[in-house]
Amino acid sequence: MQVWLPGLIVGILLVISALLMLWSHVRTWQSRRSDPEIDEADRSFWYRQYIRRMQASGLMLLIGILIPLGDSLIPWRKAPALFAIYWMFVLALVGWVILLAVSDLVATRAHSHVALGRIQRQQRELEQEAARLRSTRNGGPSHHD
């Protein structure tokens, strides 16, 4: 088995995964961007999420290209310093993808928490309105002590 083959396989898998994710992010953003029911605060969140995810997926695509290139083009025995610098750069890109993923997780969690609070407030308001309507329909507040 060729020593460059595992790097090529990993690279191909990363490129395919990244392309699918990029395609998915674009489609999702297009549907959210044109949805009239989404308010501006949510649309702003979705846009920032789209940018983070496009950046992470684009970097995954780049990493998928760099892995087999570095594996096959840089002879580590003849140029160990270049080999080390190259792979430190690739690892720095991987680290940036991880930071983007963590920031996306934190931002999504915070946004979900705010959205859940908004839904709970709306639910309480609707429950109060329903109670008021029941009271009005039944001839006033009930006094069952």
- pTM for the structure as a whole: 0.78
142 found inside a domain: no
Q: How many domains are there within the chain?
A: 1
Q: What is the pLDDT of residue 76?
A: 78
Instruction: Tell me the per-residue pLDDT of 89-104, one tens digit each, with 9 for 90 and over.
Output: 999 999 999 999 999 9
The pair phi, psi for residue 22, each rounded to 5°, is -60, -45
Please calculate the CA angle 61-63-65 and round it to the nearest 5 degrees: 75
Instruction: Tell me the per-residue pLDDT of 19-78, one tens digit each, with 9 for 90 and over.
Output: 999 999 999 999 998 888 888 888 899 999 999 999 999 999 999 999 999 888 887 788
145 found inside a domain: no
144 found inside a domain: no
Domain extent at residue 109: 5-137
12 found inside a domain: yes
70 found inside a domain: yes
